[in-house]
Structure 1
Amino acid sequence: MQGYVRLLQSGLIILALAFAARVFAVPVTYDGITFPDGDVSFADEVLDYDPSHSDEAVPTDPNYMDPDEALGAPNYSGTVGSVSLGSGGLIELAFTDNALTNSGDDAYDLHIFEVGPDIEDTFVAIRPTLDTLDLLGSGYDSNGDGFFEVGSVTGSTSSLDIDAIFSGFTAGSLLFDAVQLIDDPDKDGQGGSTVGADIDAVGAIYSAPPEPEKPPVASVPEPGTIGLLSLGLLALGLVRRRTSG
């Protein structure tokens, strides 16, 4: 029971912090894209980085091989601040203090900041939370990796509308906690030491508080257990009566 209470309290604290961050958030604009919830809108954690995901050419410049460069707000300076995926390479980034959600209309919901001189295509997939998975079903997960494929972006058009894929849902009713990016090896640029799409940041234009971890379901005692508990309480009461008398 104590573990249940602690988990519930942790979930409430996360929700409260996320709500406060949204209430007091200052909108920010990067490259003409406005994020109403400010810098909290961007991915926070690297789940996976595999530049050899498709067994193609991989980046060799160490300045562009740190996946943490894809976290947080865009900060590419021309020499550092991005990570190269590799030809057919993969990166998976999670949102921890917020969640990507749908706008409920044809507005863009997700933006990928891809930098560098070459325009390179990237396949995009997003991971639903448990409640959203229950709502949508697993039919959108074509390869069983937990991510729903939602199309691709290029260096010139790097925003996606979730509602174009999952239509008919009201704003904020769908939550996604991670984004998967896979470089399209057939549409790479010039290759070289930074081959593949160069990712600076991933931001949720429409953002929501994260879905709290569900506390474990408290088991209901069996009738026999309840009977033993009753006998124990009765015995304890008799002992107390005798000692007080």
Structure 2
Amino acid sequence: MRLSIRLLAPIAVAAIATPAQAQFFDRLLDRAERAVKGEIEGKVDREARKVTRCALGDATCIKAARSRGEEPEIVRRESGPKAYPVIDGDREIRFPMGERSFADAVVTYRPGDRRGLSRAVQGQGNVLGAPDGAGGAPCAARGDCPVVALAPGGEMVVRFTDNVLTGSGDDASDLWIFTGDAHSRLSVEVGVDGKTWEPVGSVHGPRGGVDIDAAGFGPYAAFSHVRLKNLPGDGISARPAVATIDAVGAISTRELGQ
């Protein structure tokens, strides 16, 4: 639709006599383009909500997915402390709430330019729950590790539903992002409502931690949302334009409502 509008625009403008009419026509074009973009993003967001319902164990959603020949991602809810073979400097990373420490819901998924992205790496549920690639090699090296891809311009918002992300009061990592390969570059923002965002750092490589205390948020912070965006390359090293995400985990965390 955008292409059709743009092709018709010069013909229509040529027939308009005054600058005021030309400006009016431009506003019409902008509104039409925003309407098309809003419809596309609305469909993506509806799909994100559907994935979330399945992941949290909604029986109707799971039955519908299986009737289509799909096996939905279901987040496991084990709560005991669990360590993953990841080192942050000289510290071993431990997730105090076990698998409940990881993101539970997809709020939005906008993959960016989908060209070149297979359906397998657009499965939004792949980012939920504990990391699939935590046992050693990054996901891309194993080949059996489900991830979500962000093309240039892509972003994803995930949410914790039964816990919140806090600061730790020291320089240790509070949030850990497991990506799917060694080339991913992601900016990281946190929020309390999914509308207002606070930038807290970035992650480069197959996995990395973010210290939200360094951004001014201590143990009394209570963030439920995390937004990840694909960062452009540095212009020096050759790297794929696509970033991938395996899991998002809160190291510094407490139960919702505490």
| TM-score between both structures, scaled by the size of structure 1 | 0.61
Gap change, CA 1:45 and 1:120, over 3 Å in 2: same
What are the equivalent positions in structure 2 for 1:164-243 lying under 5 Å apart?
164-166=214-216, 169=218, 171=219, 173-187=220-234, 190-191=239-240, 195-211=241-257
Aligned residue in 1 for 2:98: 38
Gap change, CA 1:95 and 1:31, over 3 Å in 2: same
Deviations 1:211-235 (A, max 9, x none): 38xxxxxxxxxxxxxxxxxxxxxxx
Native 8 Å contact 2:180 2:206 kept in 1: no
Aligned to 2:171, what secondary structure does the other structure show?
Answer: coil
Whole-angstrom CA distance in 2 between matches of 1:51 and 1:63? 13
- What amino acid does structure 1 have at the position aligned with 2:199? E
Q: Say if 2:188 is the partner of 1:119.
A: no
Q: Say if 2:133 is the partner of 1:73.
A: no
Native 8 Å contact 2:107 2:159 kept in 1: yes
Aligned to 2:189, what secondary structure does the other structure show?
Answer: strand
Question: How far does residue 200 in structure 1 lie from its aligned partner after superposition?
Answer: 0.2
What are the equivalent positions in structure 2 for 1:42-57 lying under 5 Å apart?
42-52=102-112, 56=113
| Unmatched segments (≥5 aa) in structure 1 | 1-20, 130-143, 213-245
Question: How far does residue 26 in structure 1 lie from its aligned partner after superposition?
Answer: 2.8
- What amino acid does structure 2 have at the position aligned with 1:178? H
Aligned to 2:224, what secondary structure does the other structure show?
Answer: strand
Whole-angstrom CA distance in 2 between matches of 1:31 and 1:47? 27
| Unmatched segments (≥5 aa) in structure 2 | 1-76, 88-92, 134-141
Aligned residue in 2 for 1:155: 205
Native 8 Å contact 1:112 1:199 kept in 2: yes
- Greater relative CO (CA pairs within 8 A, separation 6+): 1
Instruction: Give the structure with higher Rg (CA).
Output: 1
Deviations 1:119-166 (A, max 9, x none): 22111000126xxxxxxxxxxxxxx94121112110156101111011
Aligned length: 167
Gap change, CA 1:66 and 1:30, over 3 Å in 2: farther
| TM-score between both structures, scaled by the size of structure 2 | 0.58
